[in-house]
Amino acid sequence: MSTQDVTTEPLFSFTTPAARRTAITQWERIDDVIMGGVSSSRLVEPSDPNQRAALWTGVLRVDGGGFCGTRTRPLVSPIDLSRFAGIYIDAALISDGEVASRVWKMTLRTQNDRGEVVYQAEWQPSNADALARAFLPFTSFRLVRGPLIIPGAPPLSADLLASVYQLGLTISKFRIADPSGALPYAARLSDAEFRSGPFRVALAELGAYRVGDRDVRSDALFIETTDATLSSPPFLLWLLRPLQQFVFSEAIRRRRQARMLLRRRDAKLSGWGARLWGQRVMKRGVKRMTRVKAFLEGLAELGNDLAVASLTLPLRLLFSVVFRWIRLLKRLRSREPQLKMPQLQ
């Protein structure tokens, strides 16, 4: 495609401090912690304010999930991309030179929901420190659920592009695969090919492009996001939300998952052993905390875990009683005498 015939329309610009601050607030992270993973990422300001890009930085882990993502917050109103030919991204992987060791995906949501069915296309950032522009034509997007293409799904047409509710970026181990193939998961990167661990991407601009005479209107795109959820929750859920956020907080889930992974790798390690490992290795070794600070933070974490255990104890007891009754009923039914039918001669 000749860039001389291409006209671009920025959707999100991270090239100046003012524009960058505004754009960063319009995005949120969506990492594998939602499914029990321990990966994490965030879109942040660069340490050098003169740098003409935001930083999408994080740590990608395959345990429990294996993906990091960032996406726009819910849009106040959908954006119309029907007059464009595709999406462009100005980006560069600046943490290492192994772009091909991860799978990079661009996401478009054409339904006003938070479901897992979205349109996706693979792309790659620049493999050097210098920013480069990647073009993703809408014809390359496929409707997927997870990493799998939905058979018989419609292409990303102009009618669907007239109402785009969300855009997002994902980094993972899995390529977009066709489930009708003999080995639908053969498209994932092998353990030898895949690079987990830290990554850092310079993201300068994301927008839409058109080619030749495709543009018939000249009105600019306007994007406004909101912190509100797509629909107001019921009053009871709203009332219990602070408790839910405390009991099921991301920090608590990450600590629990990390301890489980440690014990899975070392069968001799107890729960307290995993907790002490975190004190010694993570707080003192990695985070370089003083003994006092590490002790106080560990004590606070232990207090939070005990508080969560106390709050969830009635619910756990209730489930325990219910399941015991179910097992008892099954056992009693299995002991009932069976009526034997006489054999016909």
By residue count, the chain amounts to 345
Alpha-helical segments (H) within the chain:
17-25, 158-161, 235-247, 250-265, 271-277, 291-335
Q: Each residue of 42-70: pLDDT tens digit?
A: 999 999 888 899 999 998 887 767 889 99
Phi, psi of 230 (to 5 degrees): -65, -25
Token pair 């003409």 is found at: 52
Q: Are 170 and 22 in contact (CB under 8 A)?
A: no
Closest CA to 70 of 147, 170, 176: 170
pTM, whole model, 2 decimals? 0.69
Closest CA to 144 of 204, 96, 187, 88: 187
Q: How confident is the model at residue 1, as a pLDDT?
A: 60
Residue by residue, pLDDT tens for the chain (345 residues) are 656 688 999 999 999 999 999 999 999 988 877 666 778 899 999 998 888 999 999 988 877 678 899 999 888 889 999 999 999 999 999 998 899 999 999 999 999 888 889 999 999 999 877 899 999 999 999 999 888 899 889 999 999 999 999 999 999 988 888 877 655 555 778 888 888 889 999 999 999 999 876 544 444 555 666 654 444 556 555 555 565 555 556 566 666 666 766 676 777 777 777 777 676 666 666 677 787 887 787 787 777 777 777 777 787 788 788 888 888 887 777 765 554 545 544
CA distance 247 to 187: 37
CA distance 56 to 199: 8
Q: Each residue of 300-327: pLDDT tens digit?
A: 777 777 777 777 778 778 878 888 888 8
